[in-house]
Amino acid sequence: MMELANMWILVIIMYMLGNMIFVSKHKHLLIVLLSLEFIVLSLFFFLLLMFSYIMCDMYMLMVFLVFSVCEGALGLSILVSMIRTHGNDYFQSFNIL
The model carries a pTM of 0.84
Which residue range(s) make up the domain with 31? 4-95
Please report, for the domain that includes residue 13, its CATH number.
1.10.287.3510
CA distance 60 to 68: 12
Mind listing the pLDDT tens digit of every residue in the chain (97 residues)? 567 778 889 899 999 999 999 999 788 888 999 999 999 999 999 999 888 888 888 888 999 999 999 999 999 998 898 888 888 888 777 665 5
**Structural domains counted in the chain:** 1
Instruction: Give me the amino acid identity at 7.
Output: M
Question: Cα dihedral sign for 23, 26, 30, 34?
Answer: negative
